[in-house]
Amino acid sequence: MSTVVFGLLCALLTGVGGALGVPWVATALLLAYPSFILWYAFGVAPTCFPLVPTCLLADVIAAVGYVAPAQLLLPPSLLEPGGLVPCERLNFTSWADTLAFVLCDVDRPTCAAARGLRTGWPAVDRLWAPLLDAIARLEPVLDADAYDPHAHRVCAWVSFVWVVPLLGVAVLAAVLAYALCGAALALLPPAAEFAGQLLLFYQTE
């Protein structure tokens, strides 16, 4: 989640800095990635450099092992005498179920916060509704004694193909929004200058 926050901040500074003519701000932030993560995730201030937490290497090894384990074995709960248990039994039936599990598995507080997310705009809330419903169905499962995280993660990987088109649409929307904001910020100074000149010309007439 620290990397996600850093990515959003970097994207924001890239757009604003590029529009204001200071693109080096985003580059400076990108170079400060290690210090940002140490401060945001571990609470180590940049002024403590080169001091690093003693648990940093262990966390890196655990993260690498989580993403790319040495062995890939199917959990016993996904095996049955006739073959494999379908992921539909674990409530992976749509993109919303997959995205809800990924969100809740990565960070439970963010998952709980997203469950109550309401924008007040009916059109936007209708788009979020399937994801919110999926989170509401998933949270009791995560707290149950019979919950098998390995089985759910395998099904999340298998069903992630449902999320790919949605991510493509989100990336396209972000690119279009960035282009529109950049164009608006680029046109704002000339428009303000023209309006000022027009007002001055009107006052002098």
Pair of tokens at residue 84: 């494999």
Domain count, the chain: 1
Residues 182/18, Cβ–Cβ less than 8 Å: yes
Full domain range(s) for residue 48: 1-69
Q: Read off the tokens for 64.
A: 């690498």
Residue 37 lies in a domain: yes
Q: Does residue 24 sit within a domain?
A: yes
In the chain, the percentage of residues whose pLDDT exceeds 70 is: 93
In whole angstroms, give the CA distance from residue 116 to residue 144: 21
Q: Are 96 and 133 in contact (CB under 8 A)?
A: yes
Q: Examine the pLDDT at 49 and tell me if it is beyond 70.
A: no
pLDDT one-digit tens code per residue, 67-91: 776 776 778 888 888 788 888 888 8
In this predicted structure, what is the pLDDT of residue 50? 65
pLDDT of residue 6: 80
| 117-122-125 Cα angle (round to 5) | 30
Mean pLDDT of all residues belonging to the chain: 80
Query: Which two three-digit tokens encode residue 131?
Result: 């994801």
pLDDT at 205: 66
> For residue 45, is it within any domain?
yes
SS3 breakdown of the chain: % helix, strand, coil, rounded to 5? Answer: 75, 0, 20
- Does residue 134 carry a pLDDT above 80? yes
pLDDT band of 94, cuts 50, 70, 90: confident
On whether residue 138 sits in a domain, the answer given is no
Segment 134-140 mean pLDDT: 85
What confidence tens digit (pLDDT) does each residue in 25-44 have? 888 888 888 888 878 777 77
**Residue whose pair of structure tokens reads 């073959």 in the numeric block:** 83
More confident residue, 69 or 185: 185
Against a cut of 0.85, is the pTM above it?
A: no
Residue 53 lies in a domain: yes
Residue 156's Cβ-count burial label (10 Å; 0-12, 13-18, 19+) is buried
